[in-house]
Structure 1
Amino acid sequence: MQLTDKQRTYWRKTRLLTAVLLAVWFVVTFVGAYYAVALNEFELFGFPLGFYAYAQGVLIIYLVIIAIYVYAMSRLDRAYGVGERR
């Protein structure tokens, strides 16, 4: 089965969005953890600042990534007529 140009464009945009958000996830998860160690010299509420900032901040960023994905995919689905709501 051959894909139409419209379908190819839809999947290209979907893959691009996913790749960008995965890159953000990777940087936040692995690069952020590396630099969190340097912040452990300072304390916040009795916890090392690196631990506190990483443990709390990463969860917020993950939720933002999910929200961006849901919003962007909903718009993309509606634009290409494949959304659940029409």
Structure 2
Amino acid sequence: MDARPSVNISPAVRRAYWLRTRRMTLVLLSIWFTVTFSVIFFARELSEISILGWSFSYYMAAQGTIFIYVLLVGLYAWRMPHLDKMLNDASNNGK
């Protein structure tokens, strides 16, 4: 099955596709920025919390943020084929 949409896509379908793509990208970038900024900005407050003998700020800097980044990339990689399929289906149905 060819995942590429046909060339004849209505402007409304194309606009809806890009709106959803941009919205998802902005949400994921907002989560990325919030996680990165909050760990740095609240490092002193987070260092008072201890997990398995390590301060929470160290844990987040060493492993937690990387884990969240991988989840964000995985979520993007999982969701984009669904959006592409929606565009392809809409273009094949002539909407």
Same fold by TM (over 0.5)? yes
- Match in the other structure for 2:45: 38
**Higher radius of gyration, 1 or 2:** 2
> What residue ranges of structure 1 are gaps of 5+ in the alignment?
none
When the two chains are superposed, the root-mean-square deviation of aligned CA atoms in Å is 2.2
TM-score normalised to structure 2 length: 0.70
Q: Which has the higher contact order (CA 8 A, sep 6+)?
A: 2
TM-score normalised to structure 1 length: 0.77
**How many correspondences in the alignment?**
80
- Is the contact made by 1:36 and 1:54 (CA closer than 8 Å) also made in structure 2? no
SS of residue in 1 equivalent to 2:88: coil
- Match in the other structure for 1:4: 11
Query: Which of 15, 23, 30 pairs up with 1:23?
Result: 30
Equivalent positions of 1:43-58 (< 5 A) are 47-58=54-65
> What residue ranges of structure 2 are gaps of 5+ in the alignment?
1-9, 90-95
